[in-house]
Amino acid sequence: MKHSSLEDTQLVVRTIAQTAVDNEKYFGDLDAVVGDGDFGYSLARGFEKLLLDWDTLKHDTIGTFLKQVSIIITSRIGGTSGPIWGTAFLRAAIMIGDKQELGKADVIVMLRAAIEGIKKRGQTDLGDKTLLDSLIPAVDQLEQAFNSATDVPTALHQAAQVARERADATRELVAKRGRASYAGERSVGTLDAGAVAVAVMFEQVSSVWAQQEVQK
């Protein structure tokens, strides 16, 4: 498959949204270990609203669509998660502009822009025990696979594997951001809910994409 079109972008976003809703309790339980436990609930409410408003969104361009996603997410997800996730979608939208079709390189540029947005908005980076600890390595793997001319389904599968591995590795990290940071060294031995959420989302996107390819 040579391009990631508007329909492909919608598929990915809708899969992310449904994953957030379906895993509300799981993500919330993870967050409750050393955090305030509202991550799963907040994430689910924001993406639930996105799904409810899906048919009312403008679906003319990728950039316009992602900007609307950003607005809903920012306004509906509580706490710090709303601005962080909303910024990620907004940065991706701004970076892609009015492009109608996306090549593999464009996808990486969008994801890198989202990552930089998260870093700046959350004042965080790799190693702080956040969603970036699975997101950045997954995107690194995806870029490496794309540069090696790996097909999209395989590349997504590899990225999902890395996201899961790095999410599991957050057990060894000390939380430096969010409510979990108050626990200090006691946060060692626990999983970061945001990193796990990214891993689960990558896994679901990989699965849904593979199914789509089979149906073509």
Q: In this predicted model, what pLDDT tens digit does every residue of 77-124 receive, in sequence order?
A: 877 889 999 999 999 999 999 998 999 999 999 999 999 999 999 999
Element at 101 (helix H, strand E): strand 101-102
The CA-to-CA distance between both ends of the chain, in Å, stands at 11
Task: Quote the CA–CA distance of 86 and 73 in Å, as a whole number.
Answer: 5
Q: What is the pLDDT of residues 18-65, one digit of tens each?
A: 999 999 999 999 988 877 778 999 999 999 999 999 999 988 899 999
Q: What is the pLDDT of residues 140-169, one digit of tens each?
A: 999 999 999 999 999 999 999 999 999 999
Quickly state the pLDDT bin for 5 (edges 50, 70, 90): confident
Task: Quote the CA–CA distance of 68 and 93 in Å, as a whole number.
Answer: 9
**The model's pTM:** 0.93
Q: What are residue 5's phi and psi, to 5 degrees?
A: -85, 180
SS3 state of residue 132: helix
Is-contact 10 59, C-beta < 8 A? Answer: yes
Among 83, 92, 7, residue whose Cα is nearest residue 46:
83
Sequence-separated contacts (24+) of 45-49 with Cβ below 8 Å: 45/76, 45/77, 45/78, 46/20, 46/72, 46/73, 46/76, 46/77, 46/81, 46/82, 46/85, 47/16, 47/17, 47/18, 47/20, 47/21, 47/73, 48/17, 48/20, 48/21, 49/76
- pLDDT-above-90 percentage for the chain: 76
- List domains and CATH numbers for the chain: 4-215 (1.25.40.340)
Quickly state the pLDDT bin for 179 (edges 50, 70, 90): low
The pLDDT score that the predictor gives to residue 188 is 83
Average pLDDT over residues 165-181: 82
Amino acid symbol at 103: G
The pLDDT score that the predictor gives to residue 3 is 44
Give Cβ neighbours of residue 134 (< 8 Å, ≥ 6 apart): 162, 163, 164, 166, 167, 170, 195, 196, 198, 199, 202
Beta bridge partners of 4: 102
Is-contact 24 44, C-beta < 8 A? Answer: yes
pLDDT beyond 80 at 187: no
- Average pLDDT over the chain, rounded to an integer: 91
SS3 state of residue 206: helix
pLDDT beyond 70 at 13: yes
- H helices of 53-151, where? 62-76, 81-96, 104-122, 132-147
Task: Quote the CA–CA distance of 4 and 24 in Å, as a whole number.
Answer: 29
Quickly state the pLDDT bin for 186 (edges 50, 70, 90): low
